[in-house]
Structures are given as structure tokens and as C-alpha cells.
A and B are shown apart, each in its own frame.
Chain A
Amino acid sequence: MDWRRFGVIALVIAILFGVVVLIGKNQTPPMVIITSMLATTIAVATPLTLGALSGIYCERAGVVNIGIEGMMLAAAFFGWLASIYMNSIFGFAPMPSLIVGVIAAVLSGALFALLHAALSITFKVDQIIGGTVINILAIGITGFLNRQLFFEEGSIFGGNVPHAPGILPSIRVPLLADVPTFGRMFDQQPITIAAIALVFITHYVLFYTRWGLRTRAVGEHPRAADTVGINVARMRYANVIIGGCMAGLGGAYFTLQSVPSFEPLMTNGRGFISLAAMIFGNWTPIGAWAASLVFGTAQAMQINLQFFRELILPEWAFLKNSYIVGLAPYILTMLILTGIIGKTTPPAADGVPYEK
């Protein structure tokens, strides 16, 4: 990640913030708008950050993973399902139910990742097709089970969705959260805090530890790693599964932190957008996080503009239309992939099965 790239990120974020501040400034003080935007941005960037970290673990080890979307969706469903089972059937309190839900989400991400690893490493299936299989399988299974368990007569939950144990409560960072106005930024829910911590942990692991050195080696030149006695397949399996855990935690965001319910297809392309964040962040954790924040800002703008609908001038009427404003992340993704903001280089052996 070069500084120019961070500069571009800062500029885009500043412009998007500026739009909201300009529209809302007569009703709400700019500082309040900015902190509200910041808090929302950090929160909604969570699944993107975790998705991008998932991509980084996989692709640094040389396995392309476009199944992140499916892994997140499956994790969102199974995490939610586990929390409901704990809460409604086994009668646990909401908090332990939610924690079990998060664990179940991470595990189901890992399980789907294991399948992706088997397909791409052992069976040497084209990795993009393998990832597509994961996506389709996740849509099929979650759709079927969602219907079968909740909406069919005679199903376990008797044809109606039981009450979910709610969402994860936010954690106030001591002292910082008490700062007036800006304090809101430090009042975040646990998965968001975990995601930010994982960005820095991943950075350290990748660039300062033996694990990271070996991971990057099998992603750059697997044969070279093999000749110095590194088990390429094992490194790749492990990293893909770790990546699956990241995607799983990202999936938990949707049903355990954001809203207490599941809808088919609710990940809505976030898994794919996080790949764009990973690419724009040049396969580095901190860069990918910064890029996720850009997408987060676009989404935060959409959310925050809802408060100021009446203040939008007639010339800017399109900003009232959530379908139009909602296009921003997708168009941004396509722009990033054109490389007009600077080309990045993937690991040299990314997507290439290793044949001895």
C-alpha cells in the first residue's frame, strides 16, 4: 500500500462525507453528522473488512476465493439458527445463545472453506468455478432449510419464525466513548471491534511471523516453498480454512449484530465487494480495511441521507432515491477493478493449482 492510494481513499471518503454535511448542516451541526457518519461507516464496513481478510488469507496462500459471499450467507444462517435453537428450544439466556451463534457462524464458514479447499487444492477444480459452487450451494441450502424449518407446516418451529435472542450489545471503549460527540465512534458492537483487531493481527501474522512468511511463499512460488520442505497443500488448506472463519464471522454480523433475522440472499453481494476491497488494498490487511471503509462510507451515506430527505434540494432529487444511491458501491467496485486508481499485483501463484 502506497501513500497515494491512502490519499485517494481519504479523498473519496471526504467527498462522500461532504455531501451529507452540506445537505444536513442546517438541521444538524456538522460535527454531529460527521461522527454519526463515522460510527455508521465503521459499523457497516465490518462484513467487508472480514470478507477482505478472508480473501487475503486465501489468496496470499494462492487460492482464489470468490465463495466468500456464500460462506457469509451460510454463516449468517447457521449462526442465527444456532442462536435460536439455544434460545427457544434449549432455553438459554440471550447472551450465551448469541455467543454460541457466533461460534456456529465461524464454524460453518470454516466448513464451507474446507469444501472450497478440497475442491481447489485436492481436486484441482478451477478455483473460480469452485467458489461459484460454494455460492450456489450456500444459496440452495439456506433457502431450503429456511423454508423447511420455519415456513412449512409440521416443521420444528411449527410454521412460524420464533423470536430471535436479539442482537449483540455494543461495547463502550472506556474513556474514549465518554468523549462528547466523537465518543459515538467508540461505542461499537463486538464483531466490529473484533474485525478491527483482526486487521492488525493479520498484518502482524502475515509480515512478521513464520506462518506469514510461509503463507506468502506458497502463494508466490509454491515450488520454491516445496523445495525447502514446506508442505504446500497443508499451508493452503490451513489458510483457506482460516479465511473461512473470517468470512463466517463476517456472516455473523448480518444476523447476530445488525438485525435479529435472516432473509434469503441477505448478504447482497457484500462478499464480492470485499474482494474488490482486497484488490484495492493490494492484498494487505490495512489497505483492505481502508478500502472497506470507502464502501462503508458509501453505505453510511445512503443510511444517513434518510434523516435529511426533506432537506435535499430539487436539483439533487436523485439522492432521495435509495435505488440510485444504492448503486454507489457496485459502480465503485467496477471503477476500482479498472485500475484507473492504480494497478495492484496479486500473489504470483494466485489461482494456480500446485502440481508436483
Chain B
Amino acid sequence: MTENYMLSEARPEPRRRIETNIVLEAKGITKQFPGVLANDKVNFDLRKGEIHALLGENGAGKSTLMNLIYGLHRPDKGDVIVNGKTAAIHSPNDSISLGIGMVHQHFMLIPVFTVAENVMLGDETIKRGALDRNTVAAKINEISKQYGLDADPNALVGDLPVGLQQRVEIVKTLYRNAEIVILDEPTAVLTPQEAEDLFRIMRDLTARGVSIIFITHKLKEALAIADRITVMRAGRVINTVLPSETDSAQLANMMVGRQVILTVDKKDHEAKEAVLKVENLSVRDQRDLETVHHVSFFVRGGEVLGIAGVQGNGQTELSEALTGLRHPTGGKVFISGHDVTGKPPRVMTETGLAHIPEDRQRHGLVMSYSVADNMALCDYYHPPFSKRGVIQPKALDENARRLISAFDVRTPSPFVNAGKLSGGNQQKVIVARELSRSVKLVIANQPTRGLDVGSIEYIHSVIVKMRDNGAAVLLVSAELDEIMALSDRIAVMYRGQIVAMVETKKSTREQLGLWMAGAHVETA
């Protein structure tokens, strides 16, 4: 343990060694949420001008710690010390005035506001009773130039690509003269190249004296950019280490608490004939903009086709069109030779489609229903679950008990509401329901987002098993590592088109990243 710094060293005296000048320290932070001890006596410190990575799985308590430091929640116990003084942080106002800024994982930007309005919100410049947009714009331009952030004050935030929106968030913190910047999972929405760009900006910031807390669950990124790495697990700090003195395996071990197999065990595939065939498909989103343009591809039985791409490049609309949730505006979709273009979801499932939706709580489950009801959500209307329009509770119950044991769902009973289960077990309920039917095609959309490592490994193994049993699998994921680990072939989506299609074995991370960033447009 390396947290025992002397308080006296934190005094803002002339610095002898930059590294020991602590700007922020959390001591003995404890926070209890109903049913979860989110932070358990957490100690953490940040030195001036360093990038300190906070590494841990989903649910390890990283975001909770940062929300406590930023004043969004109050700790039950413990202190936050900023620049040597115990700080009373009751709200974001307090942390902002202490020079702390935070870029949240889900951006805190208002899409219908301009960049300038978003930046000034809460810290407005007023001239004669009205908002002074010009002064704010000038200041944004200045900050933007200084750090190479490239933010147009008059653009509507909703029109900006995700990477630029993130920069607006960074401008927001600098506009408030932040000296400590917390970045919560900032690379989750970026291509590898955009992430590189962000790392450059982070280094620029630290060079000018800004200190950065970098929250991530990706080992490689922590190793690549951090000056120090603190690992959290189940609400506790496990250790703080230097990147030069550790490696991926050791970090993974600390994160998960056991040995982790970092690769998916997968046999060579024997692809059969195409199960899913997509020809010239075009789809519009709810704003009536065409987000999928003339896409054609096929997936064969016994193979996994991964769709890589930065979020918002048409993947959501594509999978909605393939599962019957959205009417395509052009093209054809075939499942096992049947034309299912524009058919409703029920026809799709009856043709042999299993669908693991992107947003499990919103689309996959009815949270107020029991596990048993959720497990029959797609099949409730035919025998054995219902006879002549009357539900058969016994059949629902038997089905649920069978699936709970077959798919290792941790639930006190089949009658418990799905909303009471953990994220991993909720996903298992969906997977159990979808994959227990006779399935020819699996469309899995972000199947492991937000899950713990154990559940991720399990879901991955089930997907590989489906493939080995001869099903065609279409995997849509924003995690390039997941795509590369599971897929036999990879298609890259960029601005609604498939810009590349490669065998996984013949692809490299860098090449895929370039395609995801739209590099083909320049080269082709």
C-alpha cells in the first residue's frame, strides 16, 4: 500500500519534487447504497501534473468515488482533501470552485444547445441582463486554440460527432479554470485513433500543470498513458502501482481477483451455407435520416460475423431492421432463404432468429415481471405456455426452473422480479430465453456492455457454442477487442456503410481502427 503520504508534504510550498505535490487526496471514503457497499474505506491521491489511472471492472466503485469527489453524492464517511485543506464538497458548485472538473462517461451536454451555451451553463456571462454569447465564444476560441481542441462555439452540440462532443466537455472544465480533471471512461466511445488524439490532449494538459484522474476498465490504456495506476475491486482499493513495474496479467489479476483468461477459446469454424443474407439494405432512423446506405453482406451457419464500428454509424438501425423493429426503406433481408424484409419481430423469431438487444433493461426485459414471465416473453402465446388463449403458469414455472439451472442464472426463485437481479444475471435471463429456442440466427448487439468479467466470459462462451452448433451469429459491438476475439470475419461500419470486410486472422487492430475512423474515404 502506498497511500501513506505525509500531510505536510502537500503544503503548496516551493516544490522540490513535482511527484510528491499532492493536489487531491481521498481518505477513508465509505459510501453505502441500498444493498451495495460501493466504496469501502477508499484511499486515493493525485499529484500535480500526473495522469493517475483508476482501473477496475464495471461496478468496482470507480465512478462512485469520482461522483463523491465531484459532489454529486455525499460520502457516509471519510474526507476529501484538496490542496492540503479538507474540503467540504456538498455539490458540484463546491468542487468546481475548488478547481475540479469532470468529463462524465455519458456526456453532460444538451444536444439542442450550442457549444457556447453548453460551456457557459451554470457560469454564465451576463451583459445588461442578457446572456453575453460573444464574450463566451471568444473565451472558448482562446481555450480551444491553446489546447488544440477545435471547438466551434456556435455549432449545435447535437450535430457534432462524439469525439468533438468530448472536447466540448473538456473545454467546459477548462472554462471553469479546472486544475484537476476527472475523465470517466473517456475512450469508450472513440476509435483507437481518436483515443490516441485524446491521449495527446491529456499529455498537453498535464504539461501545463493540469492533473488528471483517468477512469478506465481497459488495462492497455492504463498502461499506455498513466503515470500511476490504482486498481479497485468491489468497492475497495487493491493497490497503487507504477506502469513500469507491472503488466497486463498482474493488473487483470488485481481487477478480477483471480486468474483471467484474456483470450476466448475457439475452434476453427466450419462455415456452411448462408443463413442471413442482406442485399442492398437501406434504413432511416427516427429523425428520418438515412443511417444505413445500401448495405449487403451474408452470415453463414457456423460462423460469427462481427460488425465493428464507432457507435452511431448505423449499427443500431441495421440490427433493428434485421430484427423487424424498423422498416427498411430499401433492399432485401433473407433468413434461410425466406424473404423477411420488413416483417414484424414475431415473424422473425418464428423463422429462427434470436435477438440479444443493445439495451437490455429497456428492450430485453420487463423489469416489473418475474424471471419466469421474462423467460417466456417471446413464447407466451403458444403451447405449452398458453392453451386456447389462457396462460399456463405451471409451464412457465417449469421452463424457468430449467433455464435457470441450464444458464446458471443467480436468482432466489423464478418469481423474483427481473429488476432485482444484477446486470449479468439479467443478461443471462435474456440469453437463456433467446438461445433456448431452436435458433438458426443470433443477432447479439453489445452483448457484454456493462457486465462483470465473469458474466462476459460466460456470454462469450455461449456465443461461441451457438456458432459451433451451426448457428449463424451476427455480433455488433463497440468493443474492438470483443469483435476480434469472437468473430470469424469482421465487417467495419462507417457512416452507414460497410467499408471493409476481412477475415479476422488477416486483420490487425490498427487497420480496423483506421477503417472505423473512415480512413478508406481518403485512400479509396
Contacts and interface: CB of A to CB of B under 8 A. Distances in A.
Given A224-B108, A230-B122, A210 B131 contact: yes
B475 interface: no
Interface string B116-156: 01101111101001110000000000000000000000000
B327 interface: no
B72 A227 contact: yes
Interface string B80-113: 0000000000011100100000101001111111
B385 interface: no
Given A213-B131, A220-B110, A224-B109, A229 B122 contact: yes
A297 to B, nearest CB: 31
Give the interface SS of chain A, mostly helix, strand, loop or mixed. Answer: helix
B110 A224 contact: yes
Given A228-B121, A229-B91, A229-B122, A217 B110 contact: yes
B70 interface: yes
Nearest to B112: A220
A27 interface: no
A356 interface: yes
B131 A229 contact: no
Given A229-B96, A230-B122, A221 B108 contact: yes
Interface string A222-251: 011111111100000000000000000000
A217 B110 CA distance: 7
A184 interface: no
Given A209-B130, A209-B131, A214-B121, A227 B102 contact: yes
A221 B110 contact: yes
A231 B118 CA distance: 16
B218 interface: no
B121 A209 contact: no
B73 interface: yes
Nearest to A212: B131
Contacts of B172: 228
Given A208-B130, A214-B121, A356-B72, A228 B92 contact: yes
Interface string B348-359: 000000000000
A227 B73 CA distance: 11
A30 B129 CA distance: 46
Given A209-B131, A213-B121, A356-B72, A227 B109 contact: no
A353 B119 CA distance: 24
Given A220-B113, A356-B72, A228 B122 contact: yes
A221 B113 CA distance: 11
A224 B172 CA distance: 12
Contacts, number: 63
Contacts of B121: 213-214, 217, 224-225, 228, 230
A113 B221 CA distance: 51
A225 B92 CA distance: 10
A335 to B, nearest CB: 22
B161 to A, nearest CB: 19
A111 B425 CA distance: 47
A210 B126 CA distance: 8
Contacts of B113: 216-217, 220
Contact of A228 (B107, B111, B112, B123): B123
A283 to B, nearest CB: 11
Contacts of A228: 92, 96, 108, 121-123, 172
A209 B129 contact: yes
B139 to A, nearest CB: 16
Interface in A162-219: 208-210, 213-214, 216-217
Nearest to B118: A224
Given A213-B124, A217-B113, A221-B110, A226 B72 contact: yes
A344 B495 CA distance: 27
For A224, A225, A230, the residue with the greatest tally of chain B CB atoms inside 10 Å of its CB is: A224
A356 B73 CA distance: 8
Contacts of A213: 117, 120-121, 124, 131
Nearest to B106: A223
Contacts of A226: 72, 92
B70 A227 contact: yes
A256 to B, nearest CB: 32
Contacts of B72: 226-227, 356
Contacts of A216: 110, 113
A224 B91 CA distance: 13
Contacts of A225: 121-122
A245 B113 CA distance: 28
Nearest to A349: B110
For B70, B93, B121, the residue with the greatest tally of chain A CB atoms inside 10 Å of its CB is: B121
For A208, A221, A228, the residue with the greatest tally of chain B CB atoms inside 10 Å of its CB is: A228
Contacts of A230: 121-122
A126 to B, nearest CB: 15
A245 to B, nearest CB: 21
Contacts of B107: 224
A227 B131 contact: no
Interface in B55-78: 70, 72-73
Contact of A221 (B96, B109, B120, B131): B109
A224 B123 CA distance: 13
A228 B110 CA distance: 12
A207 to B, nearest CB: 9
A221 B111 CA distance: 9
Nearest to A221: B110
A356 B172 CA distance: 21
A119 B460 CA distance: 46
B153 to A, nearest CB: 14
Interface of B: 70, 72-73, 91-93, 96, 102, 104, 107-113, 117-118, 120-124, 126, 129-131, 172
| Shortest Cβ-Cβ A-B pairs, 3 listed | A228-B122, A229-B93, A224-B108
23 contacts: A208-B130, A208-B131, A210-B131, A213-B117, A213-B120, A213-B124, A213-B131, A220-B110, A220-B112, A224-B108, A224-B121, A225-B122, A226-B92, A227-B102, A227-B108, A228-B96, A228-B123, A228-B172, A229-B92, A229-B93, A230-B121, A230-B122, A231-B91
Given A210-B126, A229-B96, 15 more contacts: A208-B130, A208-B131, A210-B124, A214-B121, A216-B110, A217-B110, A217-B113, A224-B108, A224-B110, A225-B122, A227-B102, A228-B92, A228-B121, A228-B172, A229-B91
